[in-house]
Amino acid sequence: MTHSSVMRVPGLVRGAWATLLGIAVSAALTVAIRAAYGYDPLFDGEAITIVSLVTAPLFFLVGIGAFSEWFYWAGGKPTRPEDHSSHGAHSWKDYFKVNTDHKVIGIQYVVTSFFFMLVGGLLAMMVRAELAAPGSQFVDSNAYNGLFSVHASLMIFLFIIPVFAGLANYVLPLMIGAPDMAFPRLNALSFWMLPVAGTMMTLSFFAPGGSFATGWTAYAPLSTEVPLGQMFFTVGVQFAGASSIATALNFLVTIITMRAPGMSFWRMPLLVWANFSTSLLVVIATPFIAASQFFVLLDYGLGFNFFVPEDSGDVLMYQHVFWFYSHPAVYIMMLPGFGIVSEILAVKARKPVFGYRMMAFSLLAIVLLGFTVWAHHMFVSGMQSWIRVPMMVTTAIIAVPTGIKIFSWLATLWRGVLNVDTPMLWALGFLTMFTLGGISGVMLAMIPLTIHVSDTYFIVAHIHYVLFGGSLFTIFAGVYYWFPKMTGRMFDQTLGKVHFWLTFVAFNATFAPMHLIGVQGMPRRVADYPEQFATWNLVISLASFVLGLSTLIFVYNMVASWRGGPRAGSNPWRALTLEWQVSSPPPIFNFDAVPTVVGGPYEYGVPGAVHGVFKPAGHPAEAEPAPQEGRARQPAGAVAAGSTDREQ
Amino acid sequence: MASAAAVEHHHGPPPANRSSRVEPQLLGMLLFIISEIMVFGAFFTAYFFIRVVNGAEWPAQGTELPKLIAGVNTAILLSSSVTVHWALESAKKGNRFGLQAGITTTLLLGATFLFIQVNEYVHIGFAPQDHAQGSIFYGLTGLHGAHVFIGLTLLAFTTLRAFRGHFTPEEHRGVEVPGIYWHFVDVMWVIVYTTIYII
Q: Which residue has the higher pLDDT, A72 or A620?
A: A72
CB–CB of A252 and B2 under 8 A? no
Q: How many other β-carbons are positioned within 10 Å of the β-carbon of residue A584? A: 23
Contacts of A182 in chain B (CB under 8 A): 24, 28
Instruction: Determine contact: A589 vs chain B, CB below 8 A.
Output: yes
The reported pLDDT for the residue numbered B33 is 97
For B3, the closest chain A residue by CA position comes to A587
Substitution target from B21, B38, B130 for chain A, most A beta carbons within 10 A: B38
**Is residue A284 within 8 angstroms of chain B, CB to CB?**
yes
For residue A426, the cross-strand partners are: none
The distance of A316 to chain B (nearest Cα, Å) reads 9
Residue B44 lies in a domain: yes
Closest to B42 (Cβ–Cβ): which among A256, A259, A291? A291
Amino acid making up residue A160: I
A2-11, A277-286, A378-387, A406-415 — which is least confidently predicted? A2-11
Rounded to whole angstroms, the Cα distance separating A542 from A545 reads 5
CA angle B116, B121, B124 (to 5 degrees): 110
Is the model's pLDDT at A628 over the cut of 70?
A: no
Residues 6+ apart with CB under 8 A from A564: A489
CB pairs under 8 A between A and B: 197
Q: Among A259, A283, A312, whose Cβ lies nearest the Cβ of B31?
A: A283
Segment among A441-445, A588-592, A624-628 with least mean pLDDT: A624-628
Give the model confidence (pLDDT) of B52-63 as tens digits. 999 899 888 889
User: Within a domain: residue B60?
Assistant: yes
- Please report how many Cα atoms fall inside a 13 Å half-sphere around the Cα of residue B27, on the Cβ side: 19
- DSSP-derived secondary structure for A396-438: HHTHHHHHHHHHHHHHHHTT------HHHHHHHHHHHHHHHHH
Instruction: Quick: pLDDT tens for A26-75.
Output: 999 999 999 998 888 889 999 999 999 999 999 999 999 898 888 888 88
Q: Which residue has the higher pLDDT, A644 or A490?
A: A490
Q: What is the count of structural domains for chain B?
A: 1
A249/B24 touch (CB, cutoff 8 Å), yes or no? no
Tell me, what's the pLDDT at B11?
59
Q: What confidence score (pLDDT) does residue A562 get?
A: 95
pLDDT at A199 over 80: yes
Q: What Rg, from alpha-carbon coordinates, does chain A have?
A: 25
Q: Do A284 and B138 touch (CB under 8 A)?
A: no
Dihedral, A266, A267, A270, A272 alpha carbons, nearest 10:
-100
Residue A638's pLDDT band, with cuts at 50, 70 and 90, is very low
Query: Could you tell me the pLDDT band of residue B10, with boundaries at 50, 70 and 90?
Result: very low
Q: Identify from A37, A90, A257, A282 which residue to disrupt to test chain B contact, counting B C-beta atoms within 10 A and taking the largest count.
A: A257
| CB-based burial, A131-143: b 16+ in 10 Å, e otherwise | bbebeeeebeeeb
pLDDT reported for residue A635 = 40
Q: What are the pLDDT digits (tens) for A544-569?
A: 999 999 999 999 999 999 999 999 99
The pLDDT tens digits for A91-124 are 888 899 998 899 999 999 999 999 999 999 999 9
Query: For the segment A448-485, what is each residue's pLDDT rounded down to a tens digit?
Result: 999 999 999 999 999 999 999 999 999 999 999 999 99
- For residue A41, whether the previous peptide bond is cis, meaning omega lies within 30 degrees of 0, is yes
Is the CB of residue A261 less than 8 Å away from at least one CB of chain B? yes
Does residue A219 surpass a pLDDT of 90?
yes
pLDDT band, very low/low/confident/very high, at B150 (cuts 50, 70, 90): very high
Three-state DSSP class for residue A393: helix
CA neighbours within 13 Å on the CB side: how many for A319? Answer: 18
> Please, which residues bridge with residue A596 across strands?
A613
C-alpha–C-alpha distance, residues A245 and A454, integer Å: 31
Residue A463 CB neighbours (<10 A):
21
Span A428-435, average pLDDT: 96
pLDDT-above-70 percentage for chain A: 93
Q: Which of B1, B3, B152, B168 to mutate to test the interface with A (most CBs of A within 10 A)?
A: B3
- Provide the pLDDT confidence category of residue A617 given band limits of 50, 70 and 90: very low
pLDDT band at A83 (very low <50, low <70, confident <90, very high): low
Q: Which residues of B touch A589 (CB under 8 A)?
A: 6, 10, 12-14
Total residue count of chain A as it appears in this document: 648
Which of B31, B36, B161 lies nearest to residue A252, judging by beta carbons? Answer: B31
- Buried-exposed string B138-155: b where 16+ CB fall within 10 A, e elsewhere: bbbbbbbbebbeebbebb
- Which of chain A's residues have a Cβ under 8 Å away from the Cβ of B36? 287
d(CA A140, CA A145): 9
CB contact under 8 A, B131 and A82: no
Confidence grade of residue A290 (pLDDT, cut at 50, 70, 90): very high
Q: How far is A591 from chain B (nearest CA, A)?
A: 7
**A648 CA to chain B: closest CA distance, Å?**
7
Dihedral of the alpha carbons of B161, B163, B167, B172, in degrees to the nearest 10: 70
Distance separating alpha carbons of residues A454 and A380, to the nearest angstrom: 8
- Residue B79 distance to chain A (closest CA, Å): 25
User: At A261, phi and psi to the nearest 5?
Assistant: -55, 135
CA distance A249 to A239: 15
Interface test with A, best of B18, B27, B31, B175 (most A CBs within 10 A): B31
- Residue from the list A178, A287, A294 with its beta carbon closest to the beta carbon of B35: A287
| Contacts of residue A102, Cβ cutoff 8 Å, sequence gap at least 6 | A169, A170, A173, A180, A181, A184, A187
A88/B43 touch (CB, cutoff 8 Å), yes or no: no
Percent of chain A at pLDDT > 90 equals 81
Residue A631 has what pLDDT?
A: 38
Domain boundaries, chain A: 3-74, 102-564
Chain A residues 218-247 within an 8 A CB cutoff of chain B: 245
**Identity of the amino acid at A360:** A
Residue B7 belongs to some domain of the structure = no
User: Is B11 a domain residue?
Assistant: no
DSSP category for residue A377: G
For helices B24-48 and B132-163, angle between their N-to-C axes, nearest 10 degrees: 160
CB A593 within 8 A of CB A615: yes
What pLDDT digit, counting tens, does each position of A248-264 carry?
999 999 999 999 999 99
Other beta carbons within 10 angstroms of residue A374's beta carbon come to 24
Q: How many CB atoms lie within 10 A of CB B62?
A: 10
> What are the residues facing A489 on neighbouring strands?
A567
User: Looking at CA atoms only, how far is residue B37 from chain A in angstroms?
Assistant: 9
**What is the three-class DSSP state of A422?**
helix
Query: Degrees (nearest 5) of the Cα angle A114, A118, A124?
Result: 135
- Residue B84 near residue B103 (C-beta atoms within 8 A): yes
* Rounded Cα distance, A380 and A377, in Å: 8
Q: What are phi and psi of A567, to 5 degrees?
A: -60, 135
Residue B2 lies in a domain: no
Residue A490 and residue B127: Cα distance in Å, rounded?
63
Handedness of CA A198, A203, A209, A210 (dihedral sign): positive
Q: What is the pLDDT of residues A493-540, one digit of tens each?
A: 999 999 999 999 999 999 999 999 999 999 999 999 999 999 999 999
pLDDT of residue A170 exceeding 70: yes
Among the partner residues A79, A182, A290, nearest to B24 by beta-carbon distance: A182
Please state at what angle helix A184-203 crosses helix A141-153, rounded to 10 degrees. Answer: 170
Whether residue B14 has pLDDT greater than 80: no
Nearest to A317 among B16, B41, B45 (CB): B45
Distance CA A147, CA A216 (A): 11
pLDDT the model gives residue A80: 65
Q: Is A460 on the interface with B (CB under 8 A)?
A: no
A78 touches chain B (CB under 8 A): yes
DSSP A147-201: HHHHHHHIIIIIIIHHHHHHHHHHHHHHHTT-SS-S-HHHHHHHHHHHHHHHHHH
- Judged against a pLDDT cut of 50, whether residue A629 lies above it is answered with no
**Contact predicate A644/A569, CB 8 Å:** no
Determine whether A204 is exposed, middle or buried from the number of CB atoms within 10 Å of its CB (0-12, 13-18, 19+).
Answer: buried
| CATH, domain range A102-564 | 1.20.210.10
Mean pLDDT for all residues in chain A: 91
Report the C-alpha gap between A375 and B127 in whole angstroms: 32
Q: How far is B151 from chain A (nearest CA, A)?
A: 13
Q: From the centroid of its chain, how far is CA A295?
A: 25
Say whether A311 and B132 touch across the interface (CB within 8 A). Answer: yes
| Structural domain contains residue B146 | yes
Q: Which long-range contacts (CB under 8 A, 24 or more apart) does A79-84 make?
A: A79/B166, A81/B12, A82/A184, A82/B12, A84/A589, A84/B11, A84/B12, A84/B13
Q: Which residues of A touch B16 (CB under 8 A)?
A: 178-180, 257-258, 594
> CB B42 to CB A588 under 8 A?
no
Return the amino acid letter for B111.
A
| ipTM given for this complex | 0.92
The answer to whether position B14 is within a domain reads no
Gap between the Cα atoms of A597 and A261, Å rounded: 6
Is residue A382 over pLDDT 60?
A: yes
- Which of A84, A253, A313 faces B28 most closely, judged by CB atoms? A253
Residue A380, C-beta contacts closer than 8 angstroms, at least 6 positions apart: A450, A451, A454, A455
pLDDT digits (tens, 9 = 90+) for B106-131: 999 999 999 999 999 999 999 999 99
Domain extent at residue B173: 22-198
Chain A hits for B13, CB-CB cut-off 8 Å, are: 84, 179-180, 589-590
| C-beta atoms of A253 and B46 within 8 A | no
**Contacting A residues, span 322-361, partner chain B, CB-CB under 8 Å:** 324
Rg, chain B, Cα only: 21
Q: Say if residues A99 and A12 touch (Cβ distance below 8 Å).
A: no
CATH classification at residue B80: 1.20.120.80
**Residue A626 binned pLDDT confidence (cut-offs 50, 70, 90):** very low
Residue A229's DSSP bridge partners are A211
pLDDT at A644: 38
